[in-house]
Structure 1
Amino acid sequence: MERRREKRLRYLRGRPQKKQFTHVPATSVLHYATYPPLYVTKTTPLLRLLETMVARGFRRIFVATATGVLEGVVTPMEVVKHLLWRSQEAPETPVLSLMSTPVAKIMRRDVISINPSESMVESIIVMKRNGVNGLAVVDGKGLLKAVLTVRDVLEKFNCSLAGGSVEEYMSKSPVCISADRALREGVETMVSSEHRRLPCLDGSKPIGLFSSRSIVRFLGGRDLLRQAGKNLGELMSMSVAGFTVRNPPIIEPAISISEAWEIVKRSSYGSALVVKTGSLEGFLTEMDFLKAVSV
């Protein structure tokens, strides 16, 4: 991607870089959070947001004013919910016309945030209590200062995972979707169950992962151009198989949670299928790993 600042994408100091705050205590959230945080404004079109998510691998992008005052957040689930709603209301809408929707119509306003003075222990407790994998670090004036994610906690913070096997932490009896189902059914299942990742099955065999993020990859990538002539109704009739990631990490339930994290952190998915003798036993996400962090 070009080095120059992308149109409608902003950084608090105008420079796209990842670094940590200096001269702060090792216990402070600012020591591990990433700054300056990228954010978009409410007028940013959906297509630009999706392209940025795909190109940079972001799972969330915050929405702020031009001066950096936090206003909301967009994750792949907000995109999926909007896609479902628009396809129900107006199935004849061309897919490409959806891409001009301003972020203001999609973003979630109830953002879980912490202030810069919070410690990492306090921040982890907030994540666990609210079941969120990302926190906005906001000062007393409402300015977005940094972003802290579960991956920051697991990779940067000097914490050790508790003992125990994957089986003790994994999500059992996960909600699944068959590969031959229509995208609409997959999205409806995702929204109604409030699970943004669904193991995808061919019969009873797990073959991949269907997720809100894989839908975003489609809408924000080159695949969309090949389907440019479709309307929303036609898009939602496509098979779930076309939106399924086929190579997610696969782990066994008997290995330790620490070993599992070493496998998962090398991937870009942040999750894994737990499989034993070809049968799906459960599902493991970054939030499950967070449960194993002792604070």
Structure 2
Amino acid sequence: MSDKVLICGSVAFDTIAVFEGHFKDHILADNIQSLSVSFFVPTMRKEYGGCAGNIAYNLRLLGGNPVPVGTVGADAADYIVYMQQLGIDTSMIRVLADMFTPQCFITTDLDNNQIASFHPGAMMRSADNDLSGRAAAWGIVAPDAKDGMFAHARRMHAQGIPFIFDLGQAMPLFSGDDINEMLKLARILTANDYEASVVEQRTGRSMREIAQSMQAVVVTRGAEGATLYADGNEIHIEPVKAQYVVDPTGCGDAHRAGLLYGLTQNWSLVDACRLANVMGGFKIGSRGPQNHRPTRAEIGAALNQRYGVNLLG
């Protein structure tokens, strides 16, 4: 049986600039109707990101076999080489030469307020990236263009590949009917506590009720850990206390990777969620979504110390 995991979602760049001042001193309520402002940003960094890229990175840290499924522009050559150097299978990353790679431009001020712009670029044609015929133990449908998310979900469902539905930042695109349709295709739903409340509101069903027709629902709750709904039970997964709290960007993606690894290893759902918490704990201690670099031995030691679970066999 294949141990590959199809990671469907965005592969993107994040360009993050720091304004060494306060937006509130320059964006004045009296002048908001004719806004024209410029910020001097001497500090800037460019990060590899996107949900598929981040999940694949974290799964590879665990020794997993991720296959990111995403569409990028010709400007992503360095990102693809970077993935290949990590040992990630890039055969399902489709390059569209006439488009840019999806990218988010973020300016942050000294109060950690953000002004962001997102260019979807090649992501708008993600549905054309056909994964049919690819064998995999598990998959995940993470935030992407809406039609791409549905296309990947339907193709995996048709092939009998179980997958996680991770609504995430795509939440504004999905109506209650859309969510219900996706839940019929997926095996597991993952969401943070805010997203879970929106899903409940739009579908008219609680997380416990949704879990009755799925293998599981996993709701992350930040520093409070996570909640697993499965087999009619609601189980609290105790948190991992992070050594450093630096940047939450990408923590959800790290969590999904831990969950996926546990699923491919046929662990119990509880232990898979515990590993997911450990991965989120490592990620929050580093700035950017792919700059944490724990070894597999370090991850295993943290998992064993906190939960008594053995990663290394």
**Same fold flag (TM > 0.5):** no
RCO higher in structure (CA 8 A, sep ≥6)? 1
What TM-score does the superposition give when structure 2 sets the normalisation length? 0.25
What TM-score does the superposition give when structure 1 sets the normalisation length? 0.27
- Pick the structure with more helix per residue: 2
